[in-house]
Structure 1
Amino acid sequence: MASYHFAVQVVKRSAGRSVVAMAAYRAGERLHDSRRNLTEDYSKRRGVAHREIMAPEGSAPWLTDREALWNAVEQGEKRVDAQLAREINLALPHELTHEQRVELVRGFIAEHFVSRGMVADLAIHEPVPEKGDNHLNHHAHILLTLRQATPDGLRPVKTREWNSENLLKIWRAAWAEHQNRALQRNGFDAVVDHRTLAAQRAAAKERGDRQRALLFDRLPEVHIGPLARQAGLRGQALQSREREVGPLRYRRAGEAAVRRLRLYPQYDKGNRLSWANSIVRQNGQRARSVLEQLEFRQARLQRKLSYWDLRAKYGLDGKAMKRLHLIDKMIAERRGRPLSAHEKALQLHAAKRADLLRRLLAELGNVLRAARQQTEGSLIRSRTFGDWVRELGDTIMRDLGRELD
């Protein structure tokens, strides 16, 4: 089913990034970076299904030239810690066709970015199995200018309002809405949601939707990036290690500038792939456990319903029901005569209890269908994940302790 992913990062020169190199890589093109006097050639890159630059109407025509655009951005920033662009990564619904995915992303960009004056450099990537990509991994990269486009080029001053946290929330929610409209328009029942699993589960419980709440009762998976996939394809062991991240900063006077150290071994539980595998397995075990509990509860309620149905039919009391060896005889006697007032009162009471049990069983049936859907989904996810890991090679299988066999 379709999944939601919306990740944002600011491209910073202090992190050693070149927006010209990024644009070349994502678009699969050969671009010359005039600031560094380097040519970035990714023209042989596979998996680039669509590339396009979208600019506001009436803006300078040269802004739709990829090399001219991003070189102008690089040349316009003088600081060593300059922010060059904003990148947004989107997961695209695999249910849609290529043309439908292009239409979806173009509509979203036009409404939320280009309409505000940004220039958007769009690249849509399709999975390349030989690179270790999951066959459902259709996604888009969008590079956005931090300055508004004008008939003369880019404004000399950055638009700070685009850094708003509230605006980011609007974009995240809007991307879910755009996907859902596209899926519905093309005949799919799949729905995505920008909120966390915990938030979606809490909202479902608040409105009394136990069925939906159950579907969200799972652990979120962790992202497995290209470094892990490439290591697997090269037959290298996967290890979480300490990495320097962020810009160079002077911590103490007289000492060399250093970057912040991110302690991935403390964050990750094993390497990323084994951690993700553990989450997939836990979700599967949790789904099966919940299903078993619900099936046990259903069987128990059905036994109670049979008990109260029998009492409601013949006006039997609790003491009579305990005399199992006499029940058939009492039933035979009451078939031949009208029930007394006391027996009718017992019958009415039992009928109410039976109706209550039927309503509970109907509600439980809906929850059970969700639990079976959850269990089936976790099984499919486990198999898909296992097949994908096997494609990456034997080294990864050894790292996982062959847990998937």
Structure 2
Amino acid sequence: MASYHFAAQIVKRSAGRSAVAMAAYRAGDHLTDARNERVADYSGRRGVAHAEVMAPEGSAPWLTDRQTLWNAVEHMEKRKDAQLAREINLALPHELNDQQRLELVRAFVAEQFVARGMVADLAIHRPVAEKGENPLNHHAHIMLTLRQATPAGLRAVKTREWNADSMMVAWRAAWAAHQNDALRAAGHRAVVDHRSLKAQQADARERGDRQAAVRLARAPEIHVGPRARQAALRDRPVRSRPVEVGPRRQRGEGPLPSRRVVEYPRIDRGRRLDWLSELLLGNNTRARADIEKYERQAARLRRKLDHWDRQATFHIEGTVKGAGFRWQRAKAAEEARRARERERQRQAHAAKRAAQVRSLVRELELALVALRGGREAVLARKRQLDGWARSRGRSHDRQDSRQRW
């Protein structure tokens, strides 16, 4: 089943990032970073299915040259804590082929980013089996300029409205709509939803879709990016520290902006890989308990169904015997007629109850199918995490995991 993933981040110089090096890595290209006088050569990288730079119509032609574009961005930003670009990460439907995925990404980028004046450097990655990557993990990286493209190049002032939360909400909804349109056009029944699991479950309950509601009754997973995976693979110790967040500069007149301290040592849960493993463990335990509960309910309902089916087919013979007086025969006939009517009503009631119970059994069976399928997906995801754990030689974690699972 297609899965939804849309994540955005700001590329910051203060984090030691270089827009040129990032673009080279994502596109599998060979670029020279003029600011740092370094060469970023990733031309031998595997898994890059497609890379291109898209710019608004009528903008400067040099904006579509990857090396010129990102060197210009680096040159324009003077501050040591400058924001260089915005990066969007997208999960692509594995149900589509390479050409369909390319058309999907191009259409979305053109409508939502390029049409607003951004330059978009997109790279589509396919999973590399030799590296042990998930064969369904087709995804795209999109690096976006923070300044609007013009016939002369990039504007001197950044476009601040692109940073609005409402813009991010609109982009997330639009990406879901684009994927569903592409899946439907290709003849697939799979759909994606950009909303939270909690919101999707509430909507399913309101629609009376019990199968979807039980499938969505799980804790959301967290994303384990390349930095978190590398930290786990190299078994680096986790160090958390308090971090100040909030505005750094005063805009206009008024009091100085206040900043707050986030106490990460209190809320940190260790390695993200271990955190995700615990979430999957919890989802598996919850699914297993729900499966056992639904199986007990289904067994009780099947016993009731058997009872009502027997009642619906039970027949009482009512005949008039003897040749007594006429009034006696008439009375016996009336009593037989009433007995048959009562029998008919009992059978109708039993048939109605049997139909109701049969519908509940069918609903529970569908819910069980959804739960078992969801649990299989959780187990497959856990096996992938176990593969990462084996790569870092954490045998004691694997043994503990097998005991719990």
TM-score by length of 1: 0.83
Aligned to 1:82: 82
Distance 1:9 1:205, change over 3 A: same
- Structure 2 contact 318–339 (Cα < 8 Å) conserved: no
Return the offset for 1:78: 2.1
Matches within 5 A, 1:151-300: 151-230=151-230, 236-237=234-235, 239-242=237-240, 263=264, 266-268=267-269, 271-300=271-300
User: 1:328: which partner in 2?
Assistant: none
> What are the residue-to-residue correspondences of 1:17-96 with 2, within 5 Å?
17-96=17-96
**Which has the higher mean CA deviation after the structures are superposed, 335-344 or 29-38?**
335-344
Q: 2:393 corresponds to which residue? A: 395
1:16 paired to 2:16: yes
Aligned AA (2:42): Y
Write the deviation string for residues 268-318 of structure 1: whole angstroms up to 9, x where unpaired: 2x5333332333333233223323322322332232233334444447xxx
Q: For residues 396 and 190 of structure 1, what CA distance do their matches in structure 2 show?
A: 37
Aligned to 2:356: 359
Q: What corresponds to 1:143 in structure 2?
A: 143
CA gap of 1:287–1:366, structure 2 versus 1, over 3 A, is same
Secondary structure in structure 2 of the residue aligned to 1:75: helix
The yes-or-no answer on 1:382 pairing with 2:379 is yes
In the alignment, the residues of structure 2 paired with residue 383 and residue 404 of structure 1 have an alpha-carbon distance, to the nearest angstrom, of 14
Of 341, 346, 351, the residue aligned with 1:344 is 341
Change (3 A) 1:116 1:345: same
Aligned-partner SS, 1:121: strand
DSSP-derived class of the 1:148 partner = strand
Deviation at 1:12, TM superposition (A): 1.8
Q: CA 1:347 to 1:292, structure 2 compared with 1: closer, same or farther past 3 Å?
A: farther
CA distance in 2, matches of 1:277, 1:263: 20
May I ask how many residue pairs the two structures share in their alignment? 379
Moved more, 377-386 or 53-62: 377-386
SS in 2 for 1:157: strand
Matched ranges for 1:321-336 at <5 A: 334=317
- Contact residue 55 and residue 63 of structure 1 kept, 8 A: yes
The match for 2:256 is none
Query: What stretches of structure 2 of length at least 5 have no aligned partner?
Result: 249-259, 321-332
Residue equivalent to 2:125:
125
Contact 2:124 2:139 in 1 (8 A): yes
TM-score w.r.t. the length of structure 2 is 0.83
Q: Identity of counterpart residues, as a percentage?
A: 53
- Determine if contact 2:311/2:350 at 8 Å carries over to the other structure: no
CA distance in 2, matches of 1:354, 1:74: 76
Matching residue's letter, 2:373: E
Moved more, 156-165 or 117-126: 156-165
